Every structure is written in C-alpha cells, then in structure tokens.
Amino acid sequence: MTAELIDGLCNWAEGYTAPAAAVNLLIDHDVWLRRPDFRSRCVVQIPDSDLYEPDRPIAYIDWEQVCRALAERSLPASGSEVAVLRVAASLADGRPVSLRESLTGMDATTTAAVAAALVAAAGHRDRITVALAPRNRPDWL
C-alpha cells in the first residue's frame, strides 16, 4: 500500500462521512489495500493527466466490483477479512450486511476498527478510543 494510494482514496472520500469511514476501515485493517488482486480489480487510480489538481491524487474503490468479487468468492480470504470488506462495502455503498455474522470471529483489534468506522460513518468526527475491559473469569479457568 503506497502513500499515494492512501492519499488518493482519502481525497476521493473527503467530505462524505460513510465512504470516508469505509476507506479508513480498509486503511486501518491493512489487508485489502496491500493485495494486488484487490487493487487491480476494485481500485481505480485516476491518471495525473486527468486531474484538475495533479498534485492531489485521486483513487476510488469500485464498490460494485467489490460486491461482485465477494459474491463470486474470487478474492480468497479469511472469514474476518471478508467480513471487514463487507462492512466497508455496506458503509460506502449501502449494501446490506449482517453485523451479527460479520463480527463473529473477529479479533479485538479488528472489531475495534469496525466500531470506530461505524462511529465515524455516523458523522462523529471526534477521535474515539475503544478499550477492552479485562474479563472477570473464575479462578479455575
């Protein structure tokens, strides 16, 4: 994942809370944007020659392609990785997603990234911190 790609995606989503939350979720998750198969199929980078401001890169995620790839299962990934991509597609493009199914099997870090994306998509611009409280388990466990 290059800085130019991240900048381009952030520039594209700027000013749109839900798409920006989806983009930031994929950036924070740090899996999909590193994958060449995902980038070649689902990410479009606008050539500098087509930009109004050539020093301000623009890239976008083709959410239709993302949903098609998910339906075809043509982007092999773990259940958690697929769930993150489904949540991002839901935030950005309004695709229905079952949070119950999506959250099952996510580790704490990924769940926190999804929670932060949901808060950001709701328009809350303040930084949030998700802290996991220690579990109270019986001594015998």
Query: Tens digits of per-residue pLDDT, 42-100?
Result: 999 988 878 888 788 989 999 999 999 999 999 999 999 999 999 999 999 998 999 89
Lowest mean pLDDT among 9-18, 78-87, 130-139: 130-139
Angle of the 3-13 helix axis to the 17-29 helix axis, nearest 10: 160
Q: What token pair was written down for 12?
A: 């594209």
Q: Is the pTM of this model over 0.75?
A: yes
In eight-state DSSP terms, residue 35 is -
Q: What token pair was written down for 78?
A: 């773990």
Q: Which amino acid is at 2?
A: T
Q: What is the CA radius of gyration of the chain?
A: 17
